């Protein structure tokens, strides 16, 4: 073990302000978690949630750029209708590995494992997560899973698509299905353990006075996400085991020739993978709530509606998986019910969007980089959400299912939504994480480049999808070329937009302006009561919470209590 002292996580910080709870018997020169200890061991054996967050940051960034590299090659291939850059086999491996890397090793862990890990204890006034060693284990499991899948790439690749549909994956593909799927299987446990850790932490380790309705919306979002992680992830694990049994031992679950049912695989796969979409987007929504509040200097409009819509999404999200299977041979009546429920699950997202927009009204708005990302998120997520209605509508889905329309839709949600929020959050909490500010001007330019590049890449895909271009096509008919060229051009701009932050954020670690604890003047325990960077145990003394989240001062001096307009939730 490292020389850092044992975590005090087991001690609930309920005892109201006692003495400094810091590491007893340690010299005080180590004033933050980054310089508390040195050497690789102090990182690889750390149990500090903040250091683990940094480990995740490095890992997800790595996998993001690996997944991005595959996307670059795909877009290059698709610039012409002919399959002239890479062979069909290679192309199929490219989109598969792009999907696997991005979904399982970037999108799923990005916000919760990096920002959530860093911020959940800080925001609720705890010293660490409830199970710090489990937290470190989660990172190891995740990384081993990622390397397993990466091994599959290096040793020849896999060509099933990230959805691993049987019986192609179980019987027909000659590629490294097992290694890749095993990587996904392993990393799933990381997700389960992280979800468990967050749930227990949020339940048991809130600082005195931090009642449920004083929690930042980021915490509500992570709470809802954790429920999905815990309940959904075991199903994908089971599915992968069944797939492996069929592939290795010809035990028939999915292949009709072995007596199985291929549609069963889709049911099992989407029973996890649709809720998994919400594992990605809910924490991102939490980030957006924080940024919009901080850069409007304003309490989130309809706090409790935003909080409960997260829970509503988490629950309803489990009941809509069949909308991936409207043309798969599922009964038309099942289709009817799944279509209906998919319409219903769209509503909480709409409610959130309206509340965020309403928050801006009469705010004190500052358009710094995090806010640019958040406002960009609002626009792109609106398009992503609304195009979900097309797909939830039975007759329209029959046409656009498995076309680029679907590809465009989920990239608007996943990239326009999650990645925008993740980048916004990374910029917002960057000074908290490292005590230094990123270069604002450059960052604003990058945010605009990302926004423009994103739209140019993915908007044409809605059109080409509606025209009928199926996804996962190595070659395509000529009339789709114009839109594909636009998309490829956009991708090059988008790629540049992603490289910029990578460069200037790294630069800022060494040369960025040093900042105090609260450079944004934001509300929240992480800003008001912890240093930048925070100390190993976050707070000098256990915070005592006496006000609601986002208790920014009011422009109207007379009105001090905020119970005026409706304290329904107390």
Instruction: Find the binding residues for another protein in span 351-380 (CB under 8 A).
Output: 351, 353-355, 357-358, 360-367, 375, 378-379
What are residue 538's DSSP bridge partners?
A: 535
For another protein, the closer of residues 208 and 468 by Cβ is: 468
Among 127, 267, 474, 523, binds another protein (CB under 8 A): 474
- Give whichever of 386 and 452 is closer to another protein, judged by the CB atom: 386
Angle at which helix 420-434 crosses helix 262-296, to 10 degrees, equals: 50
Least distance CB 182 / another protein (angstroms): 21
- Are 361 and 311 in contact by the 8 Å Cβ rule? The answer is no
Asked if 255 is part of the footprint of another protein (rule: CB under 8 A), the reply reads: yes
Q: Residue 256 has what DSSP assignment?
A: G
Place of tokens 């939504």: 417
Segment 264 to 283, residues that bind another protein, using CB under 8 A:
none
User: Which region among 185-193, 237-245, 326-334, 449-457 touches another protein (by CB under 8 A)?
Assistant: 326-334
**DSSP letters spanning 108-130:** HHIIIIIIIHHHHHHHHT-SS-S
Instruction: Scan residues 152-211 and list those touching another protein (CB under 8 A).
Output: 159-161, 165, 167-168, 171-173
- Work out whether 392 is an interface residue with another protein (CB under 8 A): yes
Find the binding residues for another protein in span 295-314 (CB under 8 A). 296-299, 301-305
Nearer to another protein, 209 or 566 (CB): 566
Q: For the window 475-514, what string marks contact with another protein as x by the rule CB under 8 A?
A: xxxxx-xx--------------------------------
Q: What is the dihedral of CA 412, 415, 421, 423, to 10 degrees?
A: -150
Q: Is 256 in the site for another protein (CB under 8 A)?
A: yes
Tell me which residues in 68-87 interact with another protein (CB under 8 A): 83
Which of residues 477 and 503 has its CB atom nearest to another protein in the complex?
Answer: 477
The answer to whether 334 contacts another protein (rule: CB under 8 A) is no
User: How many angstroms separate the Cα of 203 from the Cα of each of 13, 121, 126, 207, 336?
Assistant: 12, 11, 11, 11, 38
Cβ-based neighbours of 271, under 8 Å, separated by 6 or more: 232, 235, 318, 321
d(CA 85, CA 79) in angstroms, rounded, equals: 10
Q: Tell me if 394 contacts another protein by CB under 8 A.
A: yes
Neighbours of 338 (CB within 10 A): 23
* DSSP state letters, 30-73: --STTTS--SHHHHHT---HHHHHHHHHHHHHHHHHHHHHHHHH
Does residue 89 belong to the site contacting another protein (CB under 8 A)?
yes
Q: For 514, which DSSP code?
A: E
Binding mask 122-151 for another protein (x = CB under 8 A): ------------------------------
Beta carbon of residue 172, minimum distance to another protein (angstroms, whole number)? 5
- Quickly list DSSP for 305-348: HHHHHHHHHHHHGGG-GGGG-TTTT--HHHHHHHHHHHHHHHHH
Which of residues 88, 334, 503, 544 is near another protein by CB under 8 A? Answer: 88
Judged by beta carbon, residue 169 or residue 187, the one nearer another protein is 169
**Of 450, 277, 299, nearest in space to 373 by CA:** 450
For residue 126, the minimal CB distance to another protein (Å) is 28
Q: How far is the CB of 238 from another protein (least distance, A)?
A: 21
Q: Is 58 in the site for another protein (CB under 8 A)?
A: no
Q: Is the dihedral of CA 480, 483, 489, 490 positive or negative?
A: negative
Q: Residue 81 and residue 79: Cα distance in Å, rounded?
A: 7
Stretch that binds another protein, among 31-39, 201-209, 219-227, 547-555 (CB under 8 A): 547-555
65 or 165, CB closer to another protein? 165
Burial 366-403 (b: 16+ CB within 10 A, else e): eebbbbbbbbbbbebbbbbbebbebbbbbeebeebbeb
Site for another protein (CB under 8 A): which residue of 45, 65, 213, 473? Answer: 473
Residues 551-570 that bind another protein (CB under 8 A): 552-556, 559, 562-568
Q: Which is nearer to another protein, 478 or 510 (CB)?
A: 478
Binding track, positions 451-470, relative to another protein; x by CB under 8 A: ------------x--xxx-x
With binding defined as CB under 8 A, does residue 242 bind another protein? no
Q: Which of 4, 289, 310, 339 binds another protein (CB under 8 A)?
A: 339
State the number of binding residues for another protein (CB under 8 A): 106
387 binds another protein (CB under 8 A): yes
Nearer to another protein, 346 or 418 (CB): 346
Work out the burial of residue 285: count CB atoms within 10 Å of its CB; fewer than 13 is exposed, 13-18 middle, 19 or more buried: buried
Grouping H, G, I as helix, E, B as strand and the rest as coil, residue 352 is helix
Q: In the complex with another protein, which residue's Cβ is closer, 151 or 213?
A: 213
Contact 124, 525 (CB under 8 A): yes
516 binds another protein, rule: CB under 8 A: no
Angle of helix 303-316 relative to helix 332-360, nearest 10 degrees, comes to: 160
Q: Does 401 bind another protein (CB under 8 A)?
A: yes
Contact 195, 233 (CB under 8 A): yes
């Amino acid at each position: 073990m490292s020389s850092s002292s044992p975590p005090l996580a087991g001690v609930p910080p309920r005892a109201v302000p006692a003495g400094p709870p810091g590491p007893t018997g340690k010299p005080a020169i180590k004033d933050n978690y980054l310089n508390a200890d040195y050497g690789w061991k102090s990182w690889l054996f750390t149990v500090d949630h903040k250091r683990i967050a940094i480990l995740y940051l490095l890992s997800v960034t790595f996998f993001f750029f690996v997944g991005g590299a595959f996307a670059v090659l795909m877009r290059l291939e698709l610039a012409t209708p002919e399959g002239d850059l890479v062979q069909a086999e290679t192309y199929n491996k490219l989109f598969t590995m792009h999907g696997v890397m991005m979904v399982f090793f970037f999108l799923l862990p990005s916000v919760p494992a990096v920002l959530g890990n860093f911020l959940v204890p800080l925001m609720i006034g705890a010293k660490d997560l409830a199970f710090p060693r489990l937290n470190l284990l989660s990172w190891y499991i995740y990384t081993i899973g990622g390397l397993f899948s990466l091994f599959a790439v290096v040793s020849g690749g896999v060509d099933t698509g990230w959805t691993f549909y049987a019986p192609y994956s179980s019987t027909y593909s000659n590629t490294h299905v097992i290694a890749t799927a095993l990587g996904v299987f392993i990393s799933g446990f990381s997700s389960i353990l992280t979800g468990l850790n967050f749930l227990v932490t949020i339940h048991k380790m809130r600082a005195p006075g931090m009642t449920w309705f004083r929690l930042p919306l980021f915490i509500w979002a992570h709470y809802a996400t954790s429920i999905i992680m815990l309940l959904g992830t075991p199903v994908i694990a089971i599915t992968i085991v069944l797939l492996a049994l069929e592939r290795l031992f010809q035990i028939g679950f999915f292949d009709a020739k072995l007596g199985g049912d291929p549609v069963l695989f889709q049911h099992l796969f989407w029973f996890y993978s649709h809720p998994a979409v919400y594992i990605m987007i809910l924490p991102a929504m939490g980030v957006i709530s924080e940024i919009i509040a901080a850069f409007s200097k304003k309490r989130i409009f309809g706090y409790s509606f935003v909080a409960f819509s997260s829970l509503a999404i988490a629950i309803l999200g489990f009941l809509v998986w069949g909308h991936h299977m409207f043309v798969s041979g599922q009964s038309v009546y099942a289709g009817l019910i799944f279509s209906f429920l998919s319409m219903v699950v769209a509503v909480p997202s709409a409610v959130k969007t309206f509340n965020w927009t309403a928050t801006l009204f009469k705010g004190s708005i500052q358009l710094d980089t995090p806010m640019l990302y958040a406002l960009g998120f609002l626009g792109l997520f609106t398009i992503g959400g609304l195009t979900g209605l097309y797909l939830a509508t039975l007759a329209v889905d029959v046409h656009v299912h498995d076309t680029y329309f679907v590809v465009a839709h989920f990239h608007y949600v996943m990239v326009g939504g999650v990645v925008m929020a993740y980048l916004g959050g990374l910029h917002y909490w960057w000074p908290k994480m490292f005590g230094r500010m990123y270069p604002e001007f450059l960052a604003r330019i990058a945010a605009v480049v990302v926004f423009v590049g994103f739209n140019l890449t993915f908007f044409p895909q809605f059109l080409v999808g509606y025209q009928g271009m199926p996804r996962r096509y190595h070659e395509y008919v000529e009339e789709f070329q114009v839109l594909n060229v636009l998309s490829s051009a956009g991708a090059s701009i988008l790629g540049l937009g992603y490289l910029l932050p990578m460069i200037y954020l790294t630069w800022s670690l060494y040369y960025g302006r040093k900042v105090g604890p609260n450079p944004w003047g934001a509300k929240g325990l992480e800003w008001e009561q912890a240093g930048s960077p925070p100390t190993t145990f976050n707070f000098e003394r256990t915070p005592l919470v006496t006000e609601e989240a986002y208790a920014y001062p009011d422009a109207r001096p007379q009105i001090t209590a905020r119970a005026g307009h409706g304290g329904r939730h107390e």
